[in-house]
Structure 1
């Protein structure tokens, strides 16, 4: 079977509805993974088809060359496969012009960000990659990539170093800055990233820090589209539908949501013409998503994985786990302020339908990654609001205990597994082979746990009791009792 390299190879109905070669690159994207291809690149493709513009994307992977190896030989083309209860649909996306890897040689990435036509640099690098310090709202000088780039800012490898080096090149050349568009699941992601970039610059180049403070826009965003990792079946589906071998194919649900703060001094694609929502206040939307979708995802991932549910759809097929999902969504919604134009009950019902989607194999173990980066905004932040509003915190106790059980490494009722977390070594040290009370005592004083929550003894006493059951009994039995 011939490799996908040209839009004319695929059936007319699946081709991009524009000639990609007629549109220049206007966006550089850091963190070229499945989610970007299913979300921002797909919407940019739709915007190009509708209203045109020089907004194609140069994708840059920061660590692994795999994404570049998949897309570069295909001239950036890939198949987007959407699956839901109504069936499977596909189209070939032409928004990505090329893909490169910055690992070991940042030169091409910096040149692309410095280029005159580049007006937006967007990012989906996961929470752990930034090197943010949420308490100081600056950078974390102890983060490995940040520490290395502070020593050698002229040869950056990390996110903050790359952004600062590219912006400095533009400053020196007298060019206007690009807009920095964070699309990761972080609260106030634009504001957080702005603070980290300015702090990094201040430590290396005071003039650059002043220029970024005065000139560079960091709009906040909320992104939502469930996108499992691509598999051999994904590629087989793409081959069947397109007639071509496609190593870059991705699959996702039909639903998407993108809420964006409208602050783009150098312009932007017409994303609003294809379903994006522009607003002057993203915060209510992102808090809703973090606490309801993401928070519930974390809970069901830890509980489900240790109960033998490999995918989210398997969690939802288990009546006891499904009841815990409903309970968590109800509690999370009760902690939220009003969200403009959103009925939270209807939103929760829609989430349940999305979780139930039998066509999407979203693995619980994949969602369970990087818990120490995700739990603070998904679960811990909800507890304070729940206390203030007299909302039962039991769902958040359960989620925390299930995560603590995951980091404990206990395998009395499941096969051995690898703890995948940026703090894996320290988490293993505090949790492996320890009792429930020992684990909780260490966790409640961890740097990533808010102090007010750490001081909430009643919360942690309940976590200890549940965790003790989880460490000594089958997870299914604990879940059954909790759901009852």
Structure 2
């Protein structure tokens, strides 16, 4: 599949309403994964057919080196950065479209100067990113940017040849300031509460160590809008890719599948202008906080609370886990008793309706959503998704049984073996091998030293520690199902 093939797409496949060859780059995106392609690029694709909108094409940037990254870059180039998106509802109804919003793809380690040239172009108005919850290098103990990372230290020592997103953005902004080009907006599309504020802390923190004057200029001129993003986009295995192509009739090396539900709520703060994304259904608001709380504390929190024990029980897909009556009862009760009574919804959002929508989305068998994906980077996710509910529950004396069970299940999950004896590999990019080994320590309280639980460590009591240890011991002795809170 490439631009030539757009003239002869299979029946039922929708092509772009614009000519991708006419796009110019107005957005640079770091972290071209499945979620970005099914979310931000999807929304941009919807408005590119409008008059004057072709200035908002997206240049994708990959930050990692290696054979896999090189193969990905080659695949994008061969397909002119086109790819298919199959959207499937819970009832099985689906549609296929070809997305053409990407103007190109650059692998930063192969040509960092090309990335810097793109970022320095006056045409670029927005820089976006999906670098995962743990990718912002924030010290959870004090909320500051960590400069002890080896890659960060390398960028600080050699700012003209960066390798991190922080180095690329800082150097590009330095060049733009020197040339009088002006700033761009930096926007996170990751599942973080106040993700714009987190991004600002990270980028300004890096710049402050590098050049105090540049940091001050960034603080005064660059905007970092907070945004709430939501769409389930599963991993696409070779088998799934083959099935998607067989269904669509396309020969696509990069096919995607996603649910039909999608949401993007953004604070309307863009220092250099923005695309008319409200025409594609994006909600622009003055404060995204309420929407963040609902999504993070309901959808994301229940996603991982389902995932950890489900993996231990031998499940590998979200919909199959939710079809287990005992696990469904855990999530129902968690949302009804622990979350909804302790959350303030934004105007117009009904929390019970939202909960029911979440559970319907989780049950979508067409997603085949992998639990290992949901549980991946669990340490960072727990800090983001559970902290507020945990803090409120501890300080109010609320029942902690489900969250304590979740902590225990997470630590047991880190051991990498389920109740059937089948092994899997947890993905924990922010934890080193020594940290992960704490989950297998004979001292069942050792794992509580992980940064995973820093968000409420100051509120932890000996009773909570004892409860987590008791839950872990009982999970091992009696199994997960016998220990699910009722």
Normalising by structure 1, what TM-score?
0.93
Structure 2 residue aligned with 1:478: 483
Contact 2:145 2:202 in 1 (8 A): yes
**Which stretch has the larger CA shift, 393-402 or 228-237?**
228-237
1:194-213, aligned counterparts within 5 Å? 194-213=200-219
Q: Deviations over 1:140-165 (max 9, x none)?
A: 11233323322222221112111111
- 1:89-146 deviation line (CA, Å, top 9, x unaligned): 1100111111121125322211111111111000001122221234443311123332
Deviating more after overlay: 377-386 vs 88-97: 377-386
C-alpha separation between the residues in 2 aligned to 1:362 and 1:264?
34
Structure 2: state its 5+ residue gaps: none
Quick one: structure 1 residues 472 and 109, their matched pair in 2 at CA, closer, same or farther if it must change by over 3 Å? farther
Most deviating of 308-317 and 68-77: 68-77
Give the equivalent residue in structure 2 for 1:434: 442
Partner of 1:8: 7
TM-score when normalising by structure 2 = 0.93
- Where 1:449 maps in the other structure, the secondary structure is helix
Q: Which residue of 2 aligns with 1:296?
A: 302
Tell me, yes or no, if the aligned pair for 2:231 and 2:263 is still in contact at 8 Å. Answer: yes
Q: Report the count of equivalent residues.
A: 477
Structure 1 unmatched ranges of 5 or more = none
In structure 1, how many angstroms separate the alpha carbons of the residues matched to 2:81 and 2:464? Answer: 50
Mapped partners of 2:435, 2:36: distance in 1:
30
| Residue 372, structure 1, aligned to residue 379, structure 2 | yes
Instruction: For residue 242 of structure 1, report the CA deviation from its aligned partner.
Output: 4.5
Query: Secondary structure in 2 aligned to 1:228?
Result: coil
In 2, Cα distance between equivalents of 1:310 and 1:138: 36
- Given that 2:382 and 2:452 are in contact with CA atoms closer than 8 Å, whether structure 1 keeps it comes out as no
Q: What is the DSSP-based 3-state SS (H/G/I as helix, E as strand, rest coil) of the residue aligned with 2:454? A: coil
Q: 1:137 maps to what in 2?
A: 143
Which one is further off, 310-319 or 470-479? 470-479
8 Å Cα contact 2:141/2:454 also seen in 1: no
Per the TM alignment, residue 52 of structure 1 is displaced from its structure 2 partner at its CA by: 4.7
Query: Which segment is superposed worse, 175-184 or 387-396?
Result: 387-396
Shift of 1:381: 2.7
CA RMSD of aligned residues (A): 2.1
- Once the two structures are superposed, the pairs formed by residues 423-462 of structure 1 within 5 Å of their partners are 423-440=431-448, 442-443=449-450, 446=451, 449-450=454-455, 452-462=457-467
Q: SS in structure 2 opposite 1:110?
A: helix
Report how far residue 294 of structure 1 moved. Answer: 0.9
8 Å contact 1:138–1:197 — kept in the other structure? no
The 2-side partners of 1:280 and 1:342 are apart by 16
State whether residues 122 and 180 of structure 1, in contact with CA within 8 Å, keep that contact through their aligned partners in structure 2.
yes
Secondary structure class of the residue paired with 1:450: helix
1:99 counterpart = 2:100 = no
